[in-house]
Amino acid sequence: MKADNKTIAPHGRPSIRIHSNKTYSSGLFVFDINHIPSGCGTWPAFWLLGQTWPNNGEIDIIEGIHNETKNTITLHTDNKCSMQGVKQFMTGAASKYRNCDVHAADQPNNHGCSVSDSKHDSVGRGFNKNGGGVYAVRWERLTGIQIWFFPRRSIPKDIKSGKPTLKNWGRPTADFPFGNRCQHEAFKNMRIVLDLTFCGDLAGIPSISSSYHCPLDCKSYVKNNPHSFNAAFWDINSLKVYQK
């Protein structure tokens, strides 16, 4: 799934978005990827989205902008989920904003609760240079939502065999446990979404573009530089969903 990298697009370079027909309210999702879109102006994402937002939740599994190499994992919900005061057993780093509620009064609007991967090869050029890898999401009523990233050379044998057990996976990159602070009802009837957006409300902000050493006028750059998007494509081996 790739962007148009051949033509100048005076009305904007078309974004791409596909989603599953089926909806899910739990499961183990294993996504094997060779290549994630990267480069100035790009905003790729792999996520789960509830049919009614934000009441049914949003789980951003893979999200990076411009030349980012460290993935950010984020939950967006209504007032039924917060990580404030919750112990998270994970290798990633939680943001200072811990409330997943998109309307939380003490946070920027729609910020959610996010975790940054410590690995510099979890998205973008680093990910692609290393041959990609696997993202796995466990979403269960008893345990909550846990997300792992395994670089290509570190994929567990049980994933390779198609019989995942989770026994030797170690700590997840991100851990969002369910309990009194975060209810499982905050996430239901969700579709799998894969997309490639250009600029937008995040990558299109001039100050953010500047921090990645990208052109300040994102829209103009994306319109007029098709050959800059040779790396703006998804190359996917498989997406497997396991349910009990």
3-state per-residue secondary structure call for 34-86? EECCCCCCEEEEEEEEECCCCCCCEEEEEECCCCCCCCEEEEEECCCEECCCC
Tell me whether residue 58 is one of the annotated catalytic residues.
Answer: yes
Contact at 8 Å (CB) between 160 and 32?
A: no
Contact at 8 Å (CB) between 178 and 142?
A: yes
d(CA 182, CA 160): 32
Q: Which residue from 126, 129, 122, 98 is spatially nearest to 111, judged by alpha carbons?
A: 98
Containing 192, the helix (H) or strand (E) segment is strand 190-198
Tell me whether residue 185 is one of the annotated catalytic residues.
Answer: no
Q: At 96, give phi and psi (nearest 5°).
A: -70, -20
Contact at 8 Å (CB) between 44 and 60?
A: no
Per-residue CA distances from 97 to 76, 107, 177, 179 (Å): 12, 7, 16, 19
Per-residue tokens: 67:
């030349």
Per-residue CA distances from 197 to 2, 76, 203, 213 (Å): 11, 19, 9, 19
Contact at 8 Å (CB) between 17 and 194?
A: yes
- Residues with catalytic function: 58, 63
